[in-house]
Each structure stands twice: as C-alpha cells, then as structure tokens.
A and B are shown apart, each in its own frame.
Chain A
C-alpha cells in the first residue's frame, strides 16, 4: 500500500554542522506534511509543517523542503546542537481523513 518512509535510519553529525533528514512518500493524494521530533521517553513533538502548495517553509533553525515531482520531503536543521539529538518522523495527512500516517523515523545523533 501507499506509505511514507525514510531513506536513512541513523544520521550522525558534528555539533554546529547542518543536518538534512529525508523522507519519501508515495501517496500522491497527500497534501500536508509534518515533521515531528521524538526524544527518548517522550511523545512526538511538532517541529514544522508544509502544505502541498508550497515548496519550502522556514522556521527557527529548521527548513522543510517539498518536492512533489519526486514525492520527497526533507528537514534541514541549521547549526545542529546536542539538544537536536532525537528520532525525527515525517508524517502525512490528506483530505481522505484526519489521521496522520507516519514514516519509519531517522535517528539524529549529534557529536560534540
């Protein structure tokens, strides 16, 4: 079936470097995407979202890019900090319902 998935299960970066976490989706009906961060022992925490009528959206230190042509979503974190260490999930929502479909998650490890 159609699903949202991630390319890399683990990403290790040096503190201060930029991080890029990728996500591929296959449901062409998806029109809204969210990135969540999950720290150990906690629930998913909203980071940033983007609608399908946009290609890019920026937040504080984070940028989400959406490429609808290849059905690809990425999360860029600038100047990665130790506190950014977590598992990052992309999730999709579409007009068919009000549930989120999550991808498999990427663990980001920040080395000091």
Chain B
C-alpha cells in the first residue's frame, strides 16, 4: 500500500536554528499538507499546497514557516528560526484529488521536532 514517508523521524535542534522537514507524498497525489501535533494536544492544520503554491494556511503558519516542492517527489517544511514552542510532531499528508467537502488525507508517520 502506498505510503507518505517523512524524514527525519526525530530531530533535536537549538532554539534559533533552521530546520527542514522532508516528506515524500504518494506518487500520484496532487495535494499536500503539513499538520502538527504538540504533545498531548490535537492535530492542527498548518498549510496546504497545490500546483506549486500554497492554497491555504493557518495562523500558526507565520513568516518563520515555508514550504517547497523542490522536485517531483519531495515536499518540505522549513522553519527558519525555531522557537521552543515549535517542539511538536509534524505530519505530512497528501491526497490525490480535491473534492469539495470530501478529502481523505493519507498521513505520514511524522517527524518529531524537539527545540532546546
């Protein structure tokens, strides 16, 4: 069964450092997402991406965050200057098509980010 793969599985970084989290969505999927989950809390939407541009973003996704699809397979999330409160599990997700009001997302296993 096709999977969304994420690397690294765990990254520890110092506050203020830049972090890049990588995702390989399912190959025939066209819509890509990043979500995050702070320990013990709900999964929160960050950003959606389609046709090489951001289609939606949440209030969490401020100027410190960026996304990129540098080639035909990778989808990255960059945090320019990490803060302690960025510590969370970051999930990449993808879906093949967008149907208004019916989006089943396939999630990766997540990248745990720990900011010290």
Task: Give the interface of A toward B (CB within 8 A).
Answer: 31-32, 34, 36, 41-46, 49, 51, 89, 91, 93-95, 97-105
Q: Nearest Cβ distance between residue A28 and chain B, in whole angstroms?
A: 14
* Chain B residue nearest to A9 in the complex (CB): B40
* Chain A residue nearest to B58 in the complex (CB): A99
State whether A46 touches B102 (Cβ < 8 A). no
State whether A34 touches B104 (Cβ < 8 A). yes
Q: Which of A91, A98, A104 has the most CB of B within 10 A?
A: A98
Residues in chain B near residue A89, CB distance under 8 A: 42-43
State whether B33 touches A99 (Cβ < 8 A). yes
Residues in chain A near residue B14, CB distance under 8 A: none
* Chain B residue nearest to A41 in the complex (CB): B109
Residues in chain A near residue B100, CB distance under 8 A: 95, 98
Known contacts A43-B109, A44-B91; A98/B42 CB under 8 A: no
Q: Nearest Cβ distance between residue B110 and chain A, in whole angstroms?
A: 5
* Chain B residue nearest to A43 in the complex (CB): B107
State whether B56 touches A46 (Cβ < 8 A). no
- Give the complex CA separation of A100 and B33 in angstroms: 10
- Give the complex CA separation of A46 and B31 in angstroms: 17
Please tell me if B81 contacts chain A, counting CB pairs below 8 Å: no
State whether B31 touches A104 (Cβ < 8 A). no
- Give the complex CA separation of A89 and B91 in angstroms: 15
Please tell me if B103 contacts chain A, counting CB pairs below 8 Å: yes
Please tell me if B44 contacts chain A, counting CB pairs below 8 Å: yes
Known contacts A43-B109, A99-B33; A51/B56 CB under 8 A: no
> Contact mask B39-61 → A, CB, 8 Å, 1/0?
00111110010000001101000
State whether B107 touches A98 (Cβ < 8 A). no
Please tell me if B15 contacts chain A, counting CB pairs below 8 Å: no
Q: Nearest Cβ distance between residue A49 and chain B, in whole angstroms?
A: 6
Residues in chain A near residue B45, CB distance under 8 A: 99-102
* Chain A residue nearest to B46 in the complex (CB): A99
- Give the complex CA separation of A31 and B48 in angstroms: 19
